[in-house]
Chains A and B, each alone.
Chain A
Amino acid sequence: MTPRQRLWFFAIGAAGLVACYLWAFTGLPGFGNYPGPYGQEILRQAVGQTHATGVVSAVNFEYRGVDTIGEEFILFTAAAGMSVVLRRLRRERQAQPVDEAGSRTVPATSSAVRVAALLLVGPTAVLGWWLASHAQTTPSGGFQGGVLLASAFILIYLAGEFLTFRRLSPVALLDAVEAAGAGGFVAIGLAAIAMNLPYLDNYLPLGQYPGAVSSSGTIALISFFVGIEVAAAFVLIIGELLEQTLLRSA
């Protein structure tokens, strides 16, 4: 099929898709008028029931907790899948990174970049930690915080070299942290069963008043475990891609 034919083929398909889309949209309740009975009911109940003022976190880690386990394991599986796809092949050996575009002159990393990246490592890590531990109060949570924690490690890579990044984030440790994060979430749920409660039931004290960092019971704890799982998964994924620059086919 020539590119031109393909474009025509696409145009016909896209026209059909748009027509169906528009037809479907005419049946929607209209922007701003969604009745969403489930969501409205959660809005009425969540703060009183869970003592979490962050209702999105309450949905993620309590009402839809089982779904979030699935979500977390999607990331877990992706990290595992990547290390399988990007494994070192038999004909590859490790070597010093070489610029693939030999004709290009690559300027050395400037000290401005190094200093800025180093200065940002601390604040980024603190912000990530803060987000991962405040899911129950304000817009934040383990997923967002975990990604920021991982960026702190990427900044170390930017400020130094790949080998420094690798030394500070050894794969064996990352694997263990990731497993602890994913397993911790599941274990919190299983602990509820051990107490004769439904899976992932919120069995911890909810704290005295909504909006305190210590409130909301298992929601805060799950968010913490999700945070370390996500951070480890992202550092693994990015390390895996960076490692490719060290591989040469023999």
Chain B
Amino acid sequence: MGIFPFLVVAWIVVVGLYGIVTSRDLIHQIVCLIVVQSSTYVLLLGVGYVTGGAAPYFWDIPQHTRAVDPVVQALALTDVVVEAAVTALLLSFAVQAQKKFGTLDPSQLVEFKG
């Protein structure tokens, strides 16, 4: 088990990057970027996991139950929010690219200037 979750992280990063490199469509490319970013959720939650630990919520379990790291879980939440914000902005750029060039194929956007 030891390193397996981290191998999953590396795989998600590379498979997402592969998608970005080979993509022929900006929307598809943005989705691939989301895939790359979702690797960080697996990494954060994998790093903070404590064997046999409960979720860090003590509403219905005793206060000193062994629990997983709450700090990385809070970081994962930040991560999700940042992802939503970045995605929204990128999608609006894609809308403008479509308007300006009439295409979403990144290889045809080479004339993009300032």
* Interface residue ranges, A against B (CB under 8 Å): 3, 6-7, 10, 14, 17-18, 21-22, 25-26, 28, 30-34, 36, 38-40, 42-44, 46-48, 53-56, 58-60, 64, 67-68, 71-72, 74-75, 77-79, 81-82, 85-86, 89, 137-139, 141, 143, 147, 210-211, 230, 234, 237, 240-241, 244, 249
Contact = CB atoms under 8 A, between A and B. Distances in A.
Contact of A39 (B5, B6, B70): B70
B92 A85 contact: yes
Given A82-B88, A211-B59, A21 B13 contact: yes
Nearest to A81: B89
A143 B77 contact: yes
B85 to A, nearest CB: 3
Given A56-B73, A82-B88, A85-B93, A17 B13 contact: yes
Contacts of A86: 92, 95-96
Given A56-B74, A85-B93, A40 B59 contact: no
Interface string B60-76: 00011001011111100
Q: Which of B88, B91, B99, B107 has the most CB of A within 10 A?
A: B88
Closest 4 CB pairs of A and B: A39-B69, A78-B85, A32-B51, A55-B56
A139 B55 contact: yes
A240 B95 CA distance: 11
A7 B17 CA distance: 11
Contact of A32 (B1, B59, B63): B1
Contacts of A32: 1, 49-52
A53 B91 CA distance: 38
B102 to A, nearest CB: 11
A64 B1 CA distance: 32
B4 interface: yes
Given A33-B51, A34-B50, A78 B21 contact: no
Given A33-B51, A55-B57, A82 B92 contact: yes
B10 interface: yes
B13 A75 contact: no
Contacts of A74: 81-82, 85
B14 interface: yes
B20 to A, nearest CB: 9
Contact of B78 (A22, A67, A77): A67
A39 B71 contact: yes
Nearest to B21: A10
B74 to A, nearest CB: 4
B6 A31 contact: yes
B86 interface: yes
A210 B92 contact: no
Given A25-B6, A40-B69, A48-B63, 6 more contacts: A6-B21, A10-B21, A18-B10, A74-B82, A74-B85, A237-B88
Contacts of B50: 32-34, 36
A120 B41 CA distance: 29
Given A25-B3, A211-B59, A55 B67 contact: yes
A64 B21 contact: no
A60 B49 contact: no
Contacts of A36: 48, 50, 69, 71-72
